[in-house]
Amino acid sequence: MVKKIRNTFFIMALSASLAFAQTAPDFTITDTDGVEHSLYADYLDQGKTVVIDLFFADCPPCHGLAPTLETIYQDWGAGQYDVQFIGLTGDPVGVDNDIKVRIFEAQTGITYPSASNQGGGPEAALPYTTNTNNQFGTFEGYPTIVVIAPDRTVQFEVVLGNVPNAAALINQAIDNTGATHPSEITDVEDAVPVFDELTVFPNPARDFAAVNFNLNEHADVNIQVFNMLGQSALEVFNGNKYPGYHQVDFNPSLLSPGTYFIRITANDSVQTTRLIKLHSHP
């Protein structure tokens, strides 16, 4: 993993409050796909910056900010390079189970892993939402973004709603941790993602559709269609693929008309794209 040589000792303004070199508590959560994520072992100790999105599913500002977060996540390499995003529900009323968080993910289009109250989200979020002794700055509500450097120190930036400068604030906080943007990576091996060029054609679709993608390495591939409730509606493919361009055909007539999300997983890389299903021909 390529890293900038940069001073990771920093002060991050939080309105009028400051958070200085505070250590992020470790946690292990299980996302809505059943995958475990350990903050230290899986990410920080591997040299990655971690961006935590503290949200709850019925929070309108969280819905407003989520597409911006997804854009930033994709811009920093969708978890394949120096930065990983994780969503944690703070769940103030105790209803954000896996199904509800999957609906939130589907409605907002986010593809980074998120933990519901079934996956330990509120417990992992607790140090920031309670913030005993004002350790990480003043918690002012949802959504809140926590940026953690690989040395385990915290940058803590409150962003309420989809404010115009949200992306700039979050990008600056990430940059301050020493993360290298994918566009700056010169190591060719590190710069090649597992897969790219994901498309679905035709879209909208009736009785035929094809998932197209380019695979840059030998990988286990799974392609599934999810409905707006975050439930798997159709498994398109599950198996092994060699490097190269692939087209996987499937029959969307098995789906009811509406909006769906196609999620493709290749090894540890995940991408999602939208599918519109029209009424089938009689």
pLDDT tens digits along 186-196 = 654 445 678 88
pLDDT at 13 over 50: no
Query: For residue 258, what pLDDT is reported?
Result: 86
Query: For residue 186, what pLDDT is reported?
Result: 60
Query: For residue 227, what pLDDT is reported?
Result: 83
Q: Is residue 132 very low, low, confident or very high in pLDDT (cuts 50, 70, 90)?
A: low
| pLDDT mean over 23-41 | 91
**This prediction's pTM:** 0.66
pLDDT at 197 over 50: yes
Sheet bearing 154-158, strands edge to edge: 114-115, 83-89, 49-55, 144-148, 154-158
Query: For residue 43, what pLDDT is reported?
Result: 92
Query: For residue 160, what pLDDT is reported?
Result: 54
Percent of the chain with pLDDT over 70: 85
Dist CA 169 CA 44 (whole Å) = 21
Q: pLDDT for 151-187, tens place per residue?
A: 988 877 655 545 668 888 899 889 988 898 888 866 5
One-letter amino acid for residue 270 of the chain? V
Query: For residue 1, what pLDDT is reported?
Result: 42
Domains belonging to the chain, first-starting first, are: 11-184 (3.40.30.10), 192-277 (2.60.40.2550)
Q: What is the mean pLDDT of the chain?
A: 82
Contacts of 20 (CB under 8 A, 6+ apart): 11
Query: For residue 249, what pLDDT is reported?
Result: 94
- The string of DSSP codes covering 194-231 is SEEEEEEESSSBSS-EEEEEEESS-EEEEEEEE-TTS-
Q: Is residue 222 very low, low, confident or very high in pLDDT (cuts 50, 70, 90)?
A: very high
Across 173-212, b (16+ Cβ under 10 Å) vs e yields bbbbbbbbbbeebeeeeeeebbbeebebeebebeeebbbe
Query: For residue 158, what pLDDT is reported?
Result: 54
pLDDT at 18 over 60: no
CA atoms within 13 A on the CB side of 60: 0
Query: For residue 163, what pLDDT is reported?
Result: 64
